[in-house]
Amino acid sequence: MTTSTALPTMRETTYDIAGRQIFAAETGDGPPVLLLHGGGPGASGVSTYARNITELAEEHRVIVPDLPGYGRSTKGIDRTDPFGFLADGIRGLLDRLGLEKAHLVGNSYGASCSLRLALDTPDRVDRMVLMGPGGIGTTRSLPTPGLNSLLNYYTGEGPSRQKLETFIRDYLVFNAADIPDSAIDERYRASIDPEVVASPPLRRPSGPHALRTLVRMDFTRDRRLNRLPVPTLVLWGAQDKVNRPSGGRVLAERMPNCDLYLVANTGHWVQFERAELFNRLCADFLAGRR
């Protein structure tokens, strides 16, 4: 399987989900798979999976939404239960698409959304691929430098292109040269959308319910993890500076149907940094070939 950055023509639709808009692009035919992006500043679905969509669409109906709070979807999220809010939105999208069940592929924040959706409604998820999910033991250790860089983007003097470039080149990926300046420019423009600046979708829990939110966002505190039946493949960059790679072993030990693949010389963006490997592993796993 080759890796292509030339995207196919994609059908673009904005769906009304409980009064909020969720944008999604799709292509291909076959078993449905949703690709859910991470939570970094300026993130969106298609840009995150630009190196994967064409290959996965060879066997699947590939659906790539902008998560609530991002891209062309309605901004603002429920800060008391962020993962649950995202999961509700994507479950609503499945309903609108008439899908009883689908594969979920998630990176970081999108992986957290996928895992929460599977825990709440395991009957809606066929197979699941998670790349460096957030929320794995986050109440048991201090945030990583990469996560602090991410969470501090909208604080202090506010967003800037330099802050975004530092996060992406120093923390998001293993090899900074993989990321062209144009990609940083595009994400920066998206990150300073006035609606996003007014209500950043990813920030530290605060207020009187902050502790409850933190505990709710740590999947290792959720007893349902031990009996989650969904077949799961966890891919984690060995040099991930945002979410600790040790989280992969935690999931493999806790979840009864979980395979773990630790990817050498790779940071937080496995699907981008090691696209050819990711595409092959992901396609084979979703098709039940491994």
d(C-alpha 62, C-alpha 32), whole Å:
6
Report which of 250, 255, 234 is spatially closest to residue 119, judged by C-alpha positions: 255
Catalytic residue (one of 37, 60, 103, 268): 268
d(C-alpha 20, C-alpha 241), whole Å:
33
Amino acid at 145: P
d(C-alpha 243, C-alpha 135), whole Å:
9
d(C-alpha 159, C-alpha 277), whole Å:
33
Active site residue 37: no
Give the torsion sign (CA, 276, 282, 287, 290): positive
Fill in the DSSP letter of residue 74. Answer: P
Amino acid at 226: N
Amino acid at 133: P
d(C-alpha 72, C-alpha 238), whole Å:
32
Give the active site residues.
268
